[in-house]
Amino acid sequence: MISVTILGAGNVASHLYKVFSKTEQVFVKQWYNRSIGSISTHKNEVEIIDDLLKIKEADVYILAVSDDAVKTLSASLPLENKLVVHTSGSVSLYDIDKKHRRGVFYPIQTFSKTAEIDFSNVPICIEALKSNDYQLLKKLAISIGSPTKKINSDQRRVLHLAAVFVNNFTNQLYRIGHEITESEGAEFDVLKPLIMETAKKVQDFSPYMAQTGPAKRNDKKTIRKHLKSLESEHHKDIYKLLTESIQRTHGRKKL
């Protein structure tokens, strides 16, 4: 049985609480947040605290807080030589106060309040300074059904950066697709199977192999038509830059 104390009340904290509390091999010892309001609904299931002085012994303390809070919160923790990890893609392991045994437990997934999370689809990237700590974090990840990946800080940094491209930026392209279609009374819904298929394709083929379309085949006529169709200058800029990007990748001339 691994005892875990969760600190924070955001999306990652809430989803971790949810999955840990239904995992037999894990016991959530305490759940801390500086304001108790949002997590107090769970007070009959777990000890909720808003005072760091009330913190008890646990095997792992998970700081699922905003990036900026990791440093101060870890320094304020009245503990020593305990395993304290954060869950951030972009914060250094060394932002955790050095009085602790330090680690990172970084789930690569998009968490939102509403959508359910299946942790078997959430790879957890693990960093730790000590081998025993690494093993414990790995055990914790496996217990919730997540694939695990041992990574170093540089790899975590680029994974977080790449995640912004494949998640936030991709989602913004969906948004632009939404705007464009609705502007003519067409329905964004018609594009949803294409969105799924585009994502599915790169599960088996490299994005390089999966590419198709006017930019790749250097179909200037269609590219011109598209640029003319776009009403927003901003959308035109994005169209041009990403067309150029595809053409660089596939060895076509610049636009």
Q: Which of 203, 233, 251, 253 binds a copy of itself (CB under 8 A)?
A: 203
The alpha carbon dihedral of 231, 234, 236, 239 has a sign of negative
Task: Choose the stretch contacting a copy of itself; rule: CB under 8 A; options: 17-25, 50-58, 73-81, 120-128.
Answer: 120-128
Task: State in angstroms the smallest separation of the CB of 212 from a copy of itself.
Answer: 6
Query: What DSSP character marks residue 41?
Result: G
Reduced to 3 states (helix: H, G, I; strand: E, B; else coil), residue 73 is: helix
Q: Which of 34, 99, 139, 201 binds a copy of itself (CB under 8 A)?
A: 201
Kindly tell me which of 3 and 211 has the beta carbon lying closer to a copy of itself: 211
Q: Which of 72, 76, 132, 168 binds a copy of itself (CB under 8 A)?
A: 168
Q: Which of 117, 113, 92, 116 minimizes the C-alpha distance to 102?
A: 92
Kindly tell me which of 40 and 181 has the beta carbon lying closer to a copy of itself: 181
Q: Does 255 bind a copy of itself (CB under 8 A)?
A: no
Lay out the sheet containing 47-49: strands in order across: 47-49, 26-32, 2-7, 60-63, 83-86, 101-107, 124-128, 148-150
E strand or H helix at 63, and its extent?
strand 60-63
Q: Which of 176, 218, 252, 255 binds a copy of itself (CB under 8 A)?
A: 176
Q: Which of 164, 84, 87 minimizes the C-alpha distance to 124?
A: 87
Taking residues 60 to 79 in sequence order and writing x for each that binds a copy of itself by CB under 8 A, - otherwise, the string is: -------xx-----------
Task: Choose the stretch contacting a copy of itself; rule: CB under 8 A; options: 52-60, 78-86, 131-139, 197-205.
Answer: 197-205
**Residue 47, strand partner residues:** 30
- Of residues 85-104, which lie at the interface with a copy of itself (CB under 8 A)? 90
Q: Does 196 bind a copy of itself (CB under 8 A)?
A: yes
Taking residues 214 to 233 in sequence order and writing x for each that binds a copy of itself by CB under 8 A, - otherwise, the string is: xxx--x-xx--xx--xx---
- Of residues 14-43, which lie at the interface with a copy of itself (CB under 8 A)? none
The C-alpha atoms of residue 188 and residue 229 are separated, in whole angstroms, by: 17
Taking residues 125 to 164 in sequence order and writing x for each that binds a copy of itself by CB under 8 A, - otherwise, the string is: x-----------------------x-x--xxxxxxxxxxx
How big is the site for a copy of itself, counted in residues (CB under 8 A)?
A: 93
Q: Does 193 bind a copy of itself (CB under 8 A)?
A: yes
Reading the block at residue 128, the tokens are: 């730790």
Reading the block at residue 211, the tokens are: 């590419």
Output phi, psi for 7, to 5 deg: -120, 125
The C-alpha atoms of residue 185 and residue 152 are separated, in whole angstroms, by: 48
In whole angstroms, what separates CA 91 from the centre of its chain?
A: 13
Kindly tell me which of 85 and 122 has the beta carbon lying closer to a copy of itself: 122
